[in-house]
Amino acid sequence: MDNYKTMKKILLFLFIWTSLATLNAQERPIEYNHTKEVWTGFTLKKDLNKKFSLNFDEQVRITEGSQIRVNFMEAGIKYKFIKKAAFKVQYRYSFRNDVRNTSRLSFDLSYKWKIKPANLQIKYRARFQNTVVDYTGQSMAYFRNRLIVTYKYNKKWSTYAYFENFYRLNERNEFRANRYEFGANYNINKQFELKTFLQYDYEINVKSPSSRRVIGVLVKYEFD
């Protein structure tokens, strides 16, 4: 029990510290290079037992000019080491339209709290990721913090909102982006789930920053 309390305190401290640091660090310019995208794809999930699960994702991200900006495939394994906490490793390969295909390895640590009287779930996720460009070998490492709040209406419907920040490593050591997302999940049946969302993110601490508005539709299938 003491270990669980310590973990919660550490994760909560990480999120609060990085969130405050982000607000303090960002210098939002007057003008952004705005873009719009549509994200669509699917997730396949298989529980191996009560502790381990596998996932496979494929997603296509399309710009407002109907061009495919990126198409990626991702596979991962998740280990639930206690009831409320989990560790996950994922590998992603992305095909891009500018011949800058990338490989990405990420490590997640997550912890969730349930507030039963209010039908709420609060989840914090810390992620370290490193992306390598195939052609140039350029490496881009980030530390990401996400806090998501989910409200469950009933067995079929739930809505959620989250905030996430991106901290650039590689000797840059500064915050580079913030992301906000609001969405809804609909359980079609025990195996199929439909997710729709609106997302907004923007860059900070860069010379020519951009912002992005996203509409997303994703489907998840969970094997028996």
Per-residue confidence of the chain (224 residues) as pLDDT tens digits?
555 555 555 555 555 655 555 555 555 545 778 899 999 999 999 999 999 999 999 999 999 888 999 999 999 999 999 989 999 999 999 998 667 899 999 999 999 999 888 889 999 999 999 999 988 889 999 999 999 999 999 999 999 999 999 999 988 889 999 999 999 999 999 999 999 999 999 999 888 899 999 999 999 999 98
pTM value?
Answer: 0.86
| Torsion, CA 163, CA 120, CA 47, CA 57, rounded to 10 | -30
Bridge partners (DSSP) listed for residue 102:
94, 133
Domain ranges of the chain: 2-222
- Report how far residue 63's alpha carbon sits from residue 221's, in angstroms, rounded to the nearest whole number: 26
Enter the CATH code of domain 2-222. Answer: 2.40.160.40
